[in-house]
Amino acid sequence: MFARAIHTKARIKALVRYPVRWYTERNLLKLKERGFIQDVFPAESIDKARSMLGSSACQTVYAGFDPTANSLHVGNLLVLIGLLHTQRAGHQPIALVGGATGLIGDPSGRKTERQQLETEIVEHNVECIKRQIETIFSNHERFFWDRPASPLKPVLVVNNADWYRQYSFVDFMANVGRHFRMGAMLSRSSVQSRLTSESGMSFTEFSYQLFQAYDWLHLLRHHNCRFQLGGSDQMGNIMSGQELISRTDGKEVFGLTLPLITNEEGDKFGKSAGNAVWLAEERTSPYTMYQFFVRTPDSEVEKLLRLLSFLPVQTIEQTMARHRRTPELWEAQKLLAAELTKLVHGETGLQKAMAISSALYNGDLSALEQLEVRDVAQSFGGAPLCEILPEPGMTVLDVALRARCFPTQADAERIIRAGGFSINLKKAKNPAEVLSPSVHILSNRISLLRVGKRNYYIVKWLL
């Protein structure tokens, strides 16, 4: 569950360890009774921050996202859900997309410098991520918010390029840079790890913390933003913002940090082996995302349910109790997958994912027949799509060759006879078998071909 840490000036103190949702002041005792609060802090500033978040007065909380790609990935979900929890508690969430800082690159958690992106690419990425964030917040309100009588404050998505365009480099260094101290900047863990690395650190990356700090100052002055939310790797940048605000405006602000989620190998969540699980449907289909969470190890699934869902603790505990009795049903993993697929892709996306899953794992072709050909092709990892005009007497071998399932006819005949070829999840072992529309073609004019266990091909019949 996500651990929030409150940072005041140069001190980092833990506020809440492993809560399931963002609770207002009246629910803190309930959290303590459930064992999700660990008070390991001196009361002075922690109590003030907790009181501000728990009062009826609206606070503004922001989190930043760098547009290094045209989509966020599942590793960004925890911060997005953190913002959603602040919204659920009646506060104003701000999602900052770094159209300016994306050109610099955040060195946090990296061993080498990011590849510099062209301005046009960053601008395109900003627009894509902005729409993505707005969609997720819209899905949350539509499918997860059960108190329509208490309307949520709409998320405000801002682009820091809007204020840096009007700020010259000389003015920025003169007015902002003078408030930073080299000793503090060099002491940041993100800087230290890079200074001692073989690749070193460029001045561009070193300056990143100045810009993130000023982002917070700008949001404080224009939106009275007193809280910043980020992963634990953002601790140094958050502290830089606190120090800048303390020196320029003399106001007390608070940082909320969330843990970085990693897999069993220690890789960042959703990015192992360089294959990110993206939130954009065009890059990762709802089915692929659904299956990613279905494959969550038993040792991790309860933690992710607490971190990434809005389910009550009691529901999670009851689900886990049933899961431990019958782990072969994967109930907890399926619940996690359904919750997150619906949050990101809505009910339509979840229905597509479950239809593909049902077809593959339960042999339920009726679910597959409800989908468009584009959805089927995308769900199978961008499986090759071939349009074929049926001809009388067309055989299993003919369709396999026209769909380019095999490099040669000899390979096709050998593998088909060996049972390595399927049409609509049924093995076709006779290359000379004539195709039958009732058997080999679904009602939506699609045939799903498979070679081996994982190589899919989609045929759209031009009937």
Residues forming CATH 3.40.50.620 domain(s) in the chain: 26-258
Residues forming CATH 3.10.290.10 domain(s) in the chain: 384-461
Residues forming CATH 1.10.240.10 domain(s) in the chain: 285-362
Q: Nearest to residue 255, comparing CAs of 272, 243, 264, 266?
A: 243
- Cβ neighbour number for residue 323 with a 10 Å cutoff: 21
Q: Which pLDDT belongs to residue 334?
A: 97
Question: What's the rounded Cα separation, in Å, for the pair 112 and 229?
Answer: 25
Residue with tokens 């690419």: 121
Q: For the residues of 257-292, what is the DSSP string, one character each?
A: EEPPPB-TTSPBTT-GGG---BSSTTTS-HHHHHHH
Comparing 14-28, 126-140, 175-189, 247-261, the range with the smallest average pLDDT is 14-28
Q: What is the pLDDT of residues 93-104, one digit of tens each?
A: 999 999 988 888
Q: Is 295 helix (H, G, I), strand (E, B) or coil?
A: coil
Instruction: Examine the pLDDT at 174 and tell me if it is beyond 80.
Output: no
Q: Which CATH architecture has domain 285-362?
A: Orthogonal Bundle (1.10)
Q: Nearest to residue 143, comparing CAs of 152, 131, 155, 130?
A: 152
**Percent of the chain residues topping a pLDDT of 90:** 47
Q: Which pLDDT belongs to residue 266?
A: 63
pTM score: 0.81
Comparing 30-39, 90-99, 146-155, 331-340, the range with the smallest average pLDDT is 30-39
Q: Which pLDDT belongs to residue 1?
A: 36
Of 174 and 77, which is predicted with more confidence? Answer: 77
Question: What are 14's strand-pairing partners?
Answer: 5
The confidence band for 255, taking pLDDT boundaries of 50, 70 and 90, is confident
CATH code at 26-258: 3.40.50.620
Instruction: Examine the pLDDT at 28 and tell me if it is beyond 50.
Output: no
Q: Is 379 helix (H, G, I), strand (E, B) or coil?
A: helix
- Cβ neighbour number for residue 152 with a 10 Å cutoff: 19
Q: Which pLDDT belongs to residue 276?
A: 85
CATH 3.10.290.10 at 384-461, yes or no: yes
